[in-house]
Amino acid sequence: MSIVEAGALDHVIRFLQSENINLQESATAALLTLSASISNKPIIGASGAIPLLVNILKHGTTQAKVDAVMALSNLSTYTDNLTVIIETNPVPSVVTLLKSSKRSSKTAEKCCSVIESMVGFDEGRTALAAEDDGILAVVEVLENGTRQAREHAVGALLTICESDRCKYRELILKEGVIPGLLELTVQGTPKSQTKAQTLLRLLRETPYPRSEFQPDTLENIVCNIISQIDGDEQSSKAKKMLAEMVQVSMEQSLRHLQQRALVCTPTDL
């Protein structure tokens, strides 16, 4: 019989509500462990633990906040929990924790995981956009996070832009997202690469090919975006990244051709 089935969850929840900081930390850590199990996710979601975790995220100790956001990340992978989580308005507290965390940390990765889930709701998108430097914090993870964190970050920004391109395009562009997206198109995970390319297309002036004389290549898409960027420094950085991206792409293509040539070359008998 599992710990949850044995009734231990009720005790954990009581400890979460305790004013004793040590009990709160222990209970949060216990929920983090329990939330990793697929079978426990719906039970924990229905137990009333999620609002308590969000409260810990707002008012708990630093360690308790980290464990709380990781537990929420685990719980958010169960669809029925998403509605419960969004109703607790966790985004402001998640953004606060994200901004205080190292962008390459596991904490930042889990923060972006929760944010990616929450921006699938209008309330989540509105809350993120309303936070000072909220979108910027996500962009910074896109640039400097772990591979998985960068995937969550670009996924969140893509979801936001797809939901209302006219409303969010400028908000995302002004945070200097282009260099990070360019890097992801070459060095990201397969999912990150696809999402980065899709987001670049949405961020340009028009998401559609402009004419038959200007093919819908990534280079042309980025050049179109760069031409609209305000600020010499950001534009210069984006142009440099584009040049590097093209160089890397050419080198990868050359290596691929060389490998094919080696495979196709008949060996001496």
The CATH fold assigned to 1-88 is Leucine-rich Repeat Variant (1.25.10)
Contacts of 252 (CB under 8 A, 6+ apart): 186
Contacts of 122 (CB under 8 A, 6+ apart): 163
Q: How far is CA 263 from CA 25, 251, 258, 260, 269, in A?
A: 58, 18, 9, 5, 15
Q: Is pLDDT of 34 > 70?
A: yes
Give the pLDDT score at 92.
Answer: 97
**Higher-pLDDT residue of 255, 22:** 22
Inter-residue contact 182 to 238 (CB < 8 Å):
yes
Residue 46 banded pLDDT, cuts 50, 70, 90: very high
Q: How far is CA 59 from CA 38, 54, 91, 167, 170, in A?
A: 28, 9, 14, 32, 33
Q: Dihedral (C-alpha) 186, 187, 192, 196: value to the nearest 10 degrees?
A: -40
Q: How far apart are the first and last CA of the chain?
A: 66
Do the two domains 1-88 and 90-204+222-227 of this chain adopt the same fold? yes
**Residue ranges of domains in the chain:** 1-88, 90-204+222-227
Give the pLDDT score at 259.
Answer: 61
**% of the chain exceeding 70 in pLDDT:** 73
Give the pLDDT score at 263.
Answer: 56
Burial category of 104 from C-beta neighbours within 10 Å (exposed 0-12, middle 13-18, buried 19 and up) = middle
Give the pLDDT score at 253.
Answer: 46
The mean predicted confidence, pLDDT, of the chain is 84
254-265 pLDDT per residue, tens: 555 566 556 555
Sign of CA dihedral 175, 121, 130, 46: negative
119-134 pLDDT per residue, tens: 999 999 999 999 999 9
The CATH fold assigned to 90-204+222-227 is Leucine-rich Repeat Variant (1.25.10)
Give the pLDDT score at 187.
Answer: 85
- Give pTM, 2 decimals: 0.79
